[in-house]
Amino acid sequence: MIAAGCDVGSLTSKAVILKDNTIIKSVIIKSKAKPGESAGEVMKQALAGAGISMKDIDYCVGTGYGRDKISFMNEAITEIACHGKGAQWLVPSARTVLDIGGQDCKAMKLGATGVMIKFTANDKCASGTGRFLEVMARVLGVGLADLGEISLSSKSPVTLASACTVWAQADVIQFLNNKVPVEDIAAGVNNAMASRMAVIVNNIGLERDVVMTGGVAKNLGVVAALEKLLGLRIKRINRADPQLAGAIGAALFAREKAKGGKS
C-alpha cells in the first residue's frame, strides 16, 4: 500500500510518499509562481527519489494554500486537519500544535486521538508568520535557514520596538546602521517572532505536550525564545522534518482512504 501527500504552501511545497507506516521519500521545494506547477514538480521529484511512478500510488491527498490546483490528487483536505494529523503521527503525545507557515500562523489543540478540538490562526498580519522572518533575513543579508544558528551566539539581543513587520524592518535597518552585531539583531528578530506566536498559542490555552511544525520549527532561536515565554519545553520532532507535518498528515489521510476506512 503506497499513499502520497502533497502540501502546496505559499513559500514551499512538500511531498511525502508513505509505504505502510514508513516515509519512503519526502521532498521540499521552493514554491513556483503557479501552485499547479509546484505540485507537479515536487511530486515528480518524490516519485523519482522513491523509484516509482504515479500509477504505483494508491491514493493521493493534497493540502495547503494551493491544494485546489493539484491535478493528480484524488482529494483535497484542509491544512488544519492535515497538520493536526501529521503532528500527532510525529509526536503521539502532542496536544498543542503550533504551525508557522510562510504567510500564516496556526495554533491547534488536539484530543488524544489527534482529532482537533480548538483552533485559531493569524493570516491577516505578517507579524508572527514565516514572512516576518523572511523579510528580516533579507534585510540582514543572511539565509532564512541560518537565522536560528546565527542568533545562538548572541550575547545581548536587541529589542524590536514594534510587532509590525514594516516598523520592525525599519528598526533592523537602524540597528545595522548603528553597527550592532548581526547575531544580536537576529536574536531580537527571533524573540519578536516568538512573542507574537506566544500570544496566538495562549489564545487557545496551553496543554502539554506542545509541538511546533512548519519550517520555522527548525529555527532553534525561535524555539528557545518561545520555550522561555511559555515556560515549558517544546517537544522536539525527530521522526521526520517538522516542515513535512502537513504533507505527512495528507499522506496518512490518503492511506486511510486507500484502505477504504474513514478519516
Positions touching other proteins (CB under 8 A) are 103, 124-126, 131, 135, 162-167
Within 8 A by CB and 6+ apart from 162, the residues are 168, 171
Q: In what order do the strands lie in the sheet with 210-213?
A: 116-122, 105-110, 96-100, 210-213
Nearest CB to other proteins, comparing residues 153 and 174: 174
Closer residue to other proteins (CB): 164 or 240: 164
Signed CA dihedral, 220, 225, 229, 233: sign only? positive
Phi, psi of 66 (to 5 degrees): -100, 20
Select 131 or 235, whichever has its Cβ closest to other proteins.
Answer: 131
For the bound state, the minimum distance from the C-beta of residue 24 to other proteins, rounded and expressed in Å, comes to 35
**Shortest approach of other proteins to residue 83 CB, angstroms?**
21
Query: What distance in Å separates the CA atoms of residue 230 and residue 223, rounded to the nearest whole number?
Result: 10
Minimum CB distance to other proteins, residue 48 (Å): 31
Q: What angle do CA 52, 63, 192 make, to 5 degrees?
A: 120
Q: Which is nearer to other proteins, 121 or 240 (CB)?
A: 121
Provide the minimum distance between the beta carbon of 131 and other proteins in the complex, in angstroms, as a whole number: 6
Residue 195 or 263: which CB sits closer to other proteins? 195
Give the nearest distance from C-beta 164 to other proteins in angstroms: 5
What does DSSP say about strands 105-110 and 59-63: parallel, antiparallel, or unpaired? unpaired
CA distance 190 to 258: 41
